[in-house]
């Protein structure tokens, strides 16, 4: 895994099923099903889709007896650990544990009787199950609102620490904590304070982030800020969207930060300019669709012209650049093939699959690089003759600017 490594805060390690969280373990991606948990087949179908998109741990609501019964059938068939989401009714937590879940999420804002909290913690301890204390800015204890004069980072952290005290009374320590808010600066500050107050693993998220693209931006702003500070052991994007988008976004963020090994394609593309020979946006979108969720952990480049494309994306495992109605494939900056413009995306996928199986050296070895490089040079020359090295005419503009300023 390349790039800069970030020093992570030291936290205790717990296990959700066989998945470690905290204590230096890889940061995990979580999401939540939006099906009715009583719909066993529908929920399992969604869980499998989430796992395929990079989800490590899934949460299902357990708000009624039918949901708990559904969990009893879902858990043994799930490809990833299942956490039961509990609100208000502590007996649903007991039922979920009986169903065999791998962990619980409790909200201290709506399960407030100490004896109920302790009963759940004691049962979880006996079963060796972890619990997430899920503080949410939207459901904070009214007494804390009054004490702090509104929703503050201090109020959220106090809520979490108050809950921890109940767990500690029954000698329960297998917990992780979240202090989510929909306000990004508030969420960031709450987690900063919490990381100083406890060694428990932390679950990061911006609650109710909303639909993409704004929701993606908000969630990324909060989660990435903290991860870059070494804070956080597991994450969830809370989007108003298909939960598969949450899992995919979480995985892509961790890969982009170098915090998880790349699992799927990392597609990079130039922003286009006056020299572009194709609609780069269209080609890039078609490439993303073609790669889909293929397990090809490669960096793939889509470049608009053959002049600078291979050089600018020389670190990519494979890329393609347009030139003179043709697509020029390159591997690690070396031109390897020329294809028809309409075949660019198909060729990109085919070569990527070959590289994934055999490696970049084998891909270069199978190519007629002399021919490919000669054709690329020919198309580069034609493009520069047609559009000039200064495709956006910046030099002419500079001359005019200087003349204007000097007058």
163-196 pLDDT per residue, tens: 999 999 999 999 999 999 999 999 999 999 999 9
Considering the domain architecture, whether residues 303 and 368 belong to the same structural domain is answered as yes
Q: Which CATH number belongs to the domain containing residue 368 in this structure?
A: 3.30.413.10
Residues 77 and 51 in one domain: yes
Does 105 reside within a domain?
yes
Confidence tier at 374 by pLDDT (50, 70, 90): confident
Burial per residue of 182-204, b for 16 or more beta-carbon CB atoms within 10 angstroms, e otherwise: bbbebbbbbbbbbbeebebbbbb
Say which residue, 399 or 89, is predicted with more confidence: 89
Structural domain of residue 279, as residue ranges? 266-387
The candidate with the shortest Cα–Cα distance to 15, out of 28, 4, 2, is 28
Q: What is the DSSP string of 118-172?
A: HHHHHHHHHHT--EEEEEEGGG--HHHHHHHTS--HHHHHHHHHHHHHHHHHTT-
Of the residues 256, 274, 300, the one at which a domain ends: 256
Domain shared by 277 and 175, yes or no: no
Number of independent structural domains in the chain: 2
Q: pLDDT tens digit string along 246-276?
A: 999 999 999 999 999 888 888 888 876 665 6
**Residue at which a domain ends, from 224, 256, 288:** 256
The reply to whether 39 and 100 lie within a common domain is: yes
Q: How far is CA 313 from CA 127, 200, 304, 357, in A?
A: 52, 41, 11, 21
Residue 18 lies in a domain: yes
pTM: 0.82
With respect to residue 101, please indicate whether it lies within any of the assigned structural domains. yes
- Regarding whether 335 and 295 lie in a shared domain, the answer is yes
301, 208: one domain? no
Task: Give per-residue pLDDT as tens, 95-130.
Answer: 999 999 999 999 877 777 889 999 999 999 999 999
Residue where a domain terminates, one of 218, 237, 256: 256
Beta bridge partner(s), residue 330: 319, 335
Q: Is the pLDDT of residue 396 over 90?
A: no
**Buried/exposed code over 46-78 (b: 16+ C-beta within 10 A; e: otherwise):** bbbbbbbbbbbbbbbbbbeeebbbbbebbbeeb
The predicted pLDDT at position 96 comes to 97
Two structure tokens written together for 74: 């879902």
Instruction: Kindly state the average pLDDT of the residues 27-54.
Output: 95
Distance CA 334, CA 320 (A): 11
Q: How confident is the model at residue 2, as a pLDDT?
A: 46
């Amino acid at each position: 895994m390349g790039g800069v490594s970030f020093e992570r805060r030291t936290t205790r390690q717990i296990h959700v099923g066989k998945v470690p969280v905290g204590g230096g373990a890889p940061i995990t991606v979580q999401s939540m099903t939006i099906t009715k948990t009583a719909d066993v087949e529908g929920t399992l179908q969604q869980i499998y889709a989430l796992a395929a998109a990079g989800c490590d741990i899934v949460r299902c609501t357990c708000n009624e007896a039918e949901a708990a019964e559904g969990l009893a059938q879902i858990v043994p068939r799930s490809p990833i650990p299942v956490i039961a989401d509990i609100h208000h009714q502590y007996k649903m937590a007991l039922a979920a544990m009986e169903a065999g879940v791998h962990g619980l999420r409790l909200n201290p804002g709506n399960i407030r009787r100490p004896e109920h909290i302790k009963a759940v913690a004691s049962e979880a301890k006996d079963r060796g199950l972890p619990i997430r204390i899920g503080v949410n800015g939207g459901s904070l204890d009214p007494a804390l609102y009054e004490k702090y004069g509104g929703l503050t980072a201090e109020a959220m952290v106090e809520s979490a620490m108050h809950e921890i005290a109940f767990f500690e009374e029954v000698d329960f320590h297998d917990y992780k904590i979240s202090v989510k808010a929909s306000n990004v600066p508030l969420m960031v500050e709450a987690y900063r304070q919490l990381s100083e107050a406890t060694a428990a693993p932390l679950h990061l998220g911006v609650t109710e982030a909303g639909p993409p693209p704004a929701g993606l931006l908000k969630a990324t702003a909060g989660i990435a800020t903290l991860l870059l500070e070494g804070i956080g052991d597991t994450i969830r994007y809370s989007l108003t969207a298909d939960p598969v988008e949450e899992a995919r976004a979480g995985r892509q963020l961790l890969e982009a930060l170098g915090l998880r090994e790349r699992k799927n394609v990392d597609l990079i593309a130039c922003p286009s300019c006056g020299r572009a020979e194709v609609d780069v946006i269209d080609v890039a979108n078609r490439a993303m669709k073609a790669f889909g969720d293929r397990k090809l952990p490669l960096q793939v480049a889509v470049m608009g012209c053959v002049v600078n494309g291979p050089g600018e994306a020389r670190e990519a495992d494979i890329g393609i650049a347009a030139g003179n109605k043709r697509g020029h494939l390159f591997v690690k900056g070396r031109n390897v093939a020329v294809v028809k413009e309409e075949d660019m995306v198909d060729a990109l996928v085919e070569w990527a699959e070959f590289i994934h199986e055999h490696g970049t050296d084998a891909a270069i070895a199978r190519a007629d690089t002399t021919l490919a490089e000669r054709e690329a040079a020919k198309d580069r020359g034609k493009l520069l003759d047609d559009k000039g090295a200064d495709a956006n005419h910046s030099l002419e503009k500079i001359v005019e600017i200087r003349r204007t300023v000097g007058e």
